[in-house]
A and B are shown apart, each in its own frame.
Chain A
Amino acid sequence: MSLIDSISLPRSVRLPRVDGLIQWIVPLAIIAIWQLASVTGFVPTRVLPAPSDVVLAGWKLLLSGELVRNIWVSFWRASIGFLIGGSIGFAFGLANGLSQLSAKLTDTTLQMVRNVPHLALIPLVILWFGIDESAKLFLVALGVFFPIYLNTLHGIRTVDPQLIEMGRIYGMTDGELFRRVIFPGALPSIFVGIRFALGIMWLTLIVAETIAASSGLGYMAMQAREFMLIDVVVLSILIYALLGKLADSASRVLERLTLAWHPAFQKR
């Protein structure tokens, strides 16, 4: 009895803070083991440099300004491409979800385009745009388009028809019905699309930058490979991981803010 009390009370107080840290235990443990393996010579440094060497390389690049510049370029490309592709996908999702005519007109075409792996278009895109910014933006936008389009469409189509009938009975205009019933109802599904799209956004960008670019993280990694700077290559990969995590966290925060009504997001 007293044992249960002494366990349960501090736990409930401490839990939130522990929850925030608990997710970092595994990544930190991996880095620790990695460092140990490198220091003891178990893993040769030309295969995988020690984390400390990677941090050192990062520090040097940071001082030269190269790292910040490349991250910024990649971040800019990713966000602009995401905004362009995302808004077009969202617009098509809305149009095809709300209008039968629009869906009949465009859905088949979009589904056909969807089945072409967008990275297969890289040769064509290079021919069209060369290796300047528009090539990367085009590819990112194209990659981001489909998850957002599909999930917006799905979200709107699966809004509870009983709620829509209720809205009509209570005299909502089309605009009100959209704002109060259809859009909030589709939002959870739209967020699924956004999180998928964020993953595809990084993937596309890195591939595009690796193949055809003169700046950006992918370019930095490829340059480092040319000069056998394996610590910089590993650094780039780690930065991808961190940026990916950052984008995911941002969408989670947004989800939490807008879906507070959803039982899955309510504090227990």
Chain B
Amino acid sequence: METALRTSLPETELASRANFAPHARVVREERPVHTSGPPLSIRGLRKSFGDNEVLRGIDLHIPAGQFVAVVGKSGCGKSTLLRLIAGLERIDAGSISFGGEIQPEDIRVMFQEPRLLPWARVLANVEVGLGRDRASGDAHARAEKALAEVGLADKREQWPSVLSGGQKQRVALARALVSRPRVLAFDEPLGALDALTRISMQRLLERVWRDQGFTAILVTHDVAEAVALADRVLVIEEGRIAHDVVVNAARPRQRGSAELAGLEGSILSHLLSADDRT
């Protein structure tokens, strides 16, 4: 009965999906069942590299446990935004606050490159993700559990060099998940994978997000991926949030459905029209 409701709702909204802006605040919350993620508030965030002002005032509130995708042309500042949230760069002006205290282990980043240590076996690579808990007695068990979550339990004793690109990225995901982070920042994590591996990785990401309920921020250049995974898609242009689009489609989402395709098309046309103006 409940599932029926969940799947039927988007259909009724489909007609008005074309002009999505008015919809932005009528959000039907599509959250994980239990959320561990903190909310995230960004006020007046600015960042420059030399004379180049990359972010020109970002204001953003992300509710606890939301899956947000950030899209935009290359050089628009989307990766910088992610690196600032993850604490990898210093903030020039403005603020980023998580609701309450947050430990370094609570925020994890996954990059486009797996960044595995080639000289450590798969399991040891996952253990790296435990941060300060690496030395604790249950480190092995926790790493094995994370590895099982991404379906690579049988590769624990392998060297990273023998894994495929998708497998390496799954090990990197296990490493990011092993400390049970509350915020996960993805910097084009699937950008280097082939199309089929991408789709299975997207499903995996969606599954672990639903299971663990962290707040997720995904930077991607692939609008279809953003629409398939996120609750909300932010379009960044010239260092500002140009569009804030809510994706209401029920999960698990049907890839290539008319609804998602329509949304993808309208976001793409925004991105491209911005291109024409410049």
Contact = CB atoms under 8 A, between A and B. Distances in A.
Chains A and B form a bound pair: yes
B119 A169 contact: no
Nearest to A173: B132
Contacts of A167: 128
Contacts of B120: 180, 261
Contacts of B105: 171
Nearest to A184: B119
Interface bin, chain B: 20 to 34
Given A162-B113, A169-B88, A180 B162 contact: no
Given A162-B111, A171-B105, A180-B120, A266 B161 contact: yes
A189 to B, nearest CB: 13
Interface in B201-222: none
Contacts of A184: 117, 119
A166 interface: yes
A163 B159 contact: no
Contacts of A261: 118-120, 159-161
Interface string B144-166: 00000000000000011110000
B159 A170 contact: no
Contacts of B161: 261-263, 266
Contacts of B108: 169
A170 B128 contact: yes
The A interface, classified by DSSP as helix, strand, loop or mixed, is helix
A261 to B, nearest CB: 4
B172 to A, nearest CB: 9
Given A162-B111, A165-B88, A171 B132 contact: yes
A263 B162 CA distance: 8
A170 B110 CA distance: 11
A181 B159 CA distance: 15
Contacts of B175: 170
A166 B116 CA distance: 9
A252 B275 CA distance: 57
Contact of B131 (A165, A170, A187): A170
A180 B118 contact: no
B117 A171 contact: no
A46 B152 CA distance: 70
A171 B104 contact: yes
A261 B86 CA distance: 30
A266 B109 contact: no
The 9 closest A-B pairs by CB, nearest first: A171-B131, A184-B119, A261-B119, A166-B115, A263-B161, A261-B159, A170-B128, A162-B115, A171-B104
Interface of A: 162-163, 165-167, 169-172, 180-181, 184-185, 187, 259-263, 266
14 contacts: A166-B111, A166-B115, A167-B128, A169-B86, A170-B128, A172-B128, A180-B117, A180-B128, A184-B117, A184-B119, A261-B120, A261-B160, A262-B161, A266-B159
